Structure 1
């Protein structure tokens, strides 16, 4: 509507001004040196319009020529980028299919002219690592390391692959060479946790716990269990009774109450033949209502020459209990006293609640000791049935 109004106003102006211009043509004179050009106003306007049109045509021709020339010159590079993009796509698909050889080949080609060469090289290194070609893997990582911004990714990838190959000493060297900024990344902390665990460097892992907590590398439950895991492992590593006692006394009350830490300390006491103190501590830690299975399983190893008295203590404390772990413990203590009949009764009571291959084997051994061959053969058949059931399930 506005355009039509504009055209109408333009036509009306032409109708009004046109006769005036025809009646009063006027003239335009241009003098340059000895040259003089004289024409009417209408002629000058027409010359200007034609000149403007020629200039526009010339501009279009020049721009078009430049564009065509640039298009032709850029075609090889554009073609290479398109091929690199296609190689990267096909390589990523091959990587997802775990076709490592094809993925490595395509991703390496895509790195040459692709927009993200670091990603291509790291992916090619992954494929080479899965193929077991360490030389090719390291070659891709070295190339990627030269790309600005990829240093941290390359460093962490090296540590991860060394861990995968069980080259723990080399992985530790690479980890120690990382900067503080690189070590603070959650991925790096997770690798350090894995590395320290597998190396058994529990003191280093203990120092790492604050950083793991700060960056929330693990969930809350796993973080809560980590201090107990570290202290239990440290107690197991102690080579002298003095060092064991010092570590135990330096623990907080909460860690001393943790069952894994208690077991590690008790096992350490047994390792240094401190059976009396270990038995006393274990008996003190037993729950009055339902004794802890892990502690009951350890008790026979701490019995020394007190198997009979331990049996009496457990019987008095839990006269009506039929807890299967308690029955196993009483059976083992009876076997240590060579009370084969009592041990047999406890084994049968435990089997009535939960039949396992270990319990059937123990019962077969007891029945053979007592000379009950028929019962032993029948129990052996039951053992075979349980083993078959486990294989099929």
Structure 2
């Protein structure tokens, strides 16, 4: 378009003022060491015109020869471009219909064409699917050369590295992204997944907070996961006392989060601190009600979980028709060897809402009472129900 505009401008001036040169007697003299060339103005203009045209033609063919020598497929000009465009579109159609062999064959014909790296990205995706990724690195490297697909190529490289359980390789690819590119939702999610694999919890939390607006609801999930990772690492390396100290040092809002509370209680239980877990769990459950607490109550296992039993019995008085409360009470009693209370509670739970887990607990209680025939009948009914 720009060349056409320039040509029209030149043509306009030639038509408007070119006639004034006709008949002029001016001369153009070119003096060389041994020769003097004399030209009329018209002759000089004709020579200049053909010089420019000749230079353009020569430049055009030189470029084509160079591209031919370095392996480019565009040396045949517009004909080759049309062939490459056709090959790319046929490859895309074959890809969408699942014919990856045909897609790969057509994409190879498009290599060297101007597709802003998209053809290499598509070829890399197919190679990862059907060729065990043997050529992925080379294809993505070519895609990274073009600024239009450099970010996508790096993200794809990170995705494949994560699939291959190579988080360090993934983070190296993500680190090559620009600051702007790192804020893209896909890049943020990939970085969070990679940091979780590397167990770099503090950095994960920083990334989650820095991209809070872009992540929406996922922000809470990842910050919880970071906190849980920190808890688990402290519990495994430093023990229960360090875990308790970490919990107390959390912000008030973090300690009120049910997900964080559940993780903390579960780790206390895993450390064998059922008494400490009971005290904390009752305090949490008094302040807010959540389904996540009931499964934790059922795991309490020490001589006399009096606080938990009193709390659950109080809840039963308030909500006498909730089967889950009787089930929790039954598990608490069973784990503390109070089989009489456990049996009464589990029967009431089954009466209100029959569940396989409660029937299994009742069968265990019957075995403790040496009522083996009744226990076997319950086991059979559970097997038949499956």
Contact 2:282 2:308 in 1 (8 A): no
> What is the CA-CA distance between 1:126 and the residue it aligns to?
0.5
The answer to whether the aligner puts 1:382 opposite 2:381 as a matched pair is yes
- What is the TM-score with the length of structure 2 in the denominator? 0.70
Distance 1:116 1:386 in 2: 59
**CA shift for structure 1 position 281:** 2.1
Q: Structure 1 residues 339 and 296, CA, compared in 2 at 3 Å: closer, same or farther?
A: same
* DSSP 3-state at the match of 2:165: coil
**Change beyond 3 A, Cα 1:254–1:224:** same
- Partner residue in 2 for 1:187: 186
Query: Displacement of 1:249 after TM fit?
Result: 2.4
SS at match of 2:168: helix
Shift, 1:122, TM fit: 0.6
SS across alignment from 1:318: helix
- Matching residue within 213, 228, 233 for 1:232: 228
Aligned to 2:111: 111
Q: Deviations over 1:144-182 (max 9, x none)?
A: 233354332222221122122222222123223444344
Aligned partner of residue 320 in structure 2, secondary structure? coil
Matched, 1:260 2:236: no
Q: Which of these residues, 277, 291, 294, is aligned with residue 293 of structure 1?
A: 291
CA contact (8 A) 2:154 2:176 kept: no
CA distance in 2, matches of 1:200, 1:145: 28
Partners of 2:181 and 2:82 lie apart in 1 by 35
Decide which structure has the larger Cα Rg and report it: 1
Shift of 1:323: 2.5
Question: Which of 215, 218, 224 is the equivalent residue of 1:222?
Answer: 218
Separation in structure 1 between the aligned mates of residue 225 and residue 234 of structure 2, nearest angstrom: 15
Deviations 1:238-268, CA, capped at 9 Å, x for gaps: 1323432332222221111111111222233
Aligned twin of 2:327? 328
Contact 2:234 2:243 in 1 (8 A): yes
Distance in structure 2 (CA, Å) of the matches to 1:312 and 1:146: 68
Partners of 1:331 and 1:344 within 8 A in 2: yes
Partner of 1:135: 134
Q: Check whether the contact 1:356–1:386 (CA below 8 A) recurs between aligned residues.
A: no
The residue number in structure 2 matching 1:243 is: 242
Residues 202 and 366 from structure 1, CA distance in 2 versus in 1: closer, same or farther, beyond 3 angstroms? same
- Which residue pairs with 2:37 in the alignment? none
Gaps of 5+ in 1: 1-65, 388-393
Shift of 1:207: 0.8
The answer (yes or no) to whether the contact 1:125–1:141 under 8 Å persists in 2 is yes
* Aligned 8 A contact 2:330 2:346 in 1: yes
Deviations 1:255-290 (A, max 9, x none): 1111111122223333444444432222122247x8
Shift of 1:128: 0.3
| Two-structure CA RMSD over aligned residues (Å) | 3.0
Structure 1 CA distance for aligned equivalents of residues 289 and 183 of structure 2: 43
* 1:198 and 2:197 are equivalent in the alignment: yes
Q: CA deviation at 1:111?
A: 2.6
Q: Distance in 2 between the 1:264 and 1:301 partners?
A: 13
CA positional deviation for 1:206: 0.8
Distance 1:75 1:118, change over 3 A: closer
Partner of 1:81: 81
> What is the Cα deviation at residue 332 of structure 1?
1.4
Query: Structure 1-normalised TM-score?
Result: 0.69
| Structure 1 equivalent of residue 312 of structure 2 | 314
Cα distance, 1:374–1:316 mapped onto 2, change above 3 Å: same
Q: Contact (CA 8 Å) 2:116, 2:148: kept in 1 or not?
A: no
Q: Is the 8 A contact 2:128 2:134 kept in 1?
A: no
Q: Secondary structure at the match of 2:154?
A: helix
Rounded to whole Å, the distance in 2 between the matches of 1:91 and 1:358 is: 54
Q: Distance in 2 between matches of 1:137 and 1:183?
A: 22
Superposed, 1:339-354 pairs within 5 Å as 339-354=338-353
State the Cα deviation string for residues 321-363 of structure 1 (Å, max 9, x = none).
3423322221112212333343233223323344333333223
What is the alpha-carbon distance in structure 2 between the residues aligned to residue 261 and residue 373 of structure 1?
42
Separation in 1 of the partners of 2:147 and 2:305?
69
Residues 70-111 of structure 1: per-residue CA shift (max 9 Å, x gap)? 9xx999433322222222112112222233333222223223
Task: Tell me which moved more, 203-212 or 90-99.
Answer: 90-99
